[in-house]
Amino acid sequence: MLEIRELRAGYGANLALHDVSLTVGQGRIACLIGSNGAGKSTTLRTVCGIVRARGGSVSLAGTRIDPFAPAKIVKAGLALVPEGRRVFGPLSVDENLQMGAYLSLRERKRQHYDERLAFVQRLFPRLLERSRQLAGTLSGGEQQMLAIGRALMSGPRVLLLDEPSMGLAPLVVRDIFATLASLRDDGMTILIAEQNARAGLSIADDAYVITEGRITRSGTAAQIMQDRTLADAYLGTQQAGSTARRRRTARDASGNPADDGAPVVHAS
């Protein structure tokens, strides 16, 4: 369904992706694992057209989408849940969901909008309960639900999620990931970028490891989970894991507090 071939992309003179190839089959979840700065976000941003590809290709159900502008990529059926959620804090939950459907609203497809909203609210009943609440006053877990709901409002066939577990308590992550698994079971194709390999691999069918802009391992999630060298580096069985945890804590302090149910107010 989603096929990324020899993708190259970067910022200014620096190449962040050298040669990234991966595929996500229809109705499967693939997890892209990598440490800080490995190129996970750049991969997702390039697939969405936010960062322009400098080489290689991205195809969605056989159609090349890498030459398209971001809005056309959304129309083709791809939606991104960005790192750090990026909900619109001063807007209500419902207004945030509307932002995710702006393309169909612009084309006056009101019925389509109403159906998507009902679907998202069935998936996350919390978003219905809190429809008029300002997004900035939601807990971290609720904001993540909103970010996913907003992405689903465009009716995607492929959903990309950038570190959905970041800053959330394990129980909240489990809940949200169970919802992602149910979407997959209904046929959605999902690519998750995660530094939290344990969480990502727990629901993924397939996995890819990215290191300094290159895919260095791939296999089924079960195979990657059992790989000892990867376990040491990414599953926290040795020192590398505690380094990752320290970094995560530092970043959490800068804007993504752990989800203890308290409101999270973002500056952005």
Ligand X SMILES: Nc1ncnc2c1ncn2[C@@H]1O[C@H](COP(=O)(O)OP(=O)(O)OP(=O)(O)O)[C@@H](O)[C@H]1O
Binding residues for Mg ion, rule: CB under 5 A, are: 40-41, 83
Interaction partner, residue 180 (ligand X, Mg ion, none; CB < 5-8 Å by kind): none
Minimum Å gap between C-beta 161 and Mg ion is: 11
At residue 129, the 3 state secondary structure works out as: helix
Interaction partner, residue 166 (ligand X, Mg ion, none; CB < 5-8 Å by kind): none
Minimum Å gap between C-beta 234 and ligand X is: 12
Query: Which among 207, 195, 149, 131 has a CA at the least distance from the CA of 168?
Result: 195
Q: Give yes or no for residue 250 binding ligand X (CB under 6 A).
A: no
Interaction partner, residue 126 (ligand X, Mg ion, none; CB < 5-8 Å by kind): none
Q: Give yes or no for residue 256 binding ligand X (CB under 6 A).
A: no
Calpha distance 149→166 (Å, rounded): 17
Minimum Å gap between C-beta 44 and Mg ion is: 8
Question: Which listed residue (20, 41, 116, 152) binds ligand X by CB under 6 A?
Answer: 41
Q: Give yes or no for residue 195 binding ligand X (CB under 6 A).
A: yes
Calpha distance 198→84 (Å, rounded): 19
Neighbours of 18 (CB within 10 A): 17
Q: What value does the CA radius of gyration of the chain take, rounded to a whole number of Å?
A: 18
Q: Give yes or no for residue 191 binding ligand X (CB under 6 A).
A: no
Q: What sections of 77-169 are H helices per DSSP? A: 93-100, 102-106, 110-123, 125-129, 140-152
Per-residue binding string, ligand X, 69-88, x by CB under 6 A, is: --------------x-----
Calpha distance 41→51 (Å, rounded): 10
Question: Which listed residue (2, 22, 29, 40) binds ligand X by CB under 6 A?
Answer: 40
Beta strand 214-220 pairing with 29-33: unpaired
Q: Give yes or no for residue 42 binding ligand X (CB under 6 A).
A: yes
Q: Give yes or no for residue 46 binding ligand X (CB under 6 A).
A: no
Minimum Å gap between C-beta 34 and Mg ion is: 9
Residue closest to Mg ion (Cβ): 41
Residues near ligand X (CB under 6 A) are 11, 16, 34, 36-42, 83, 195
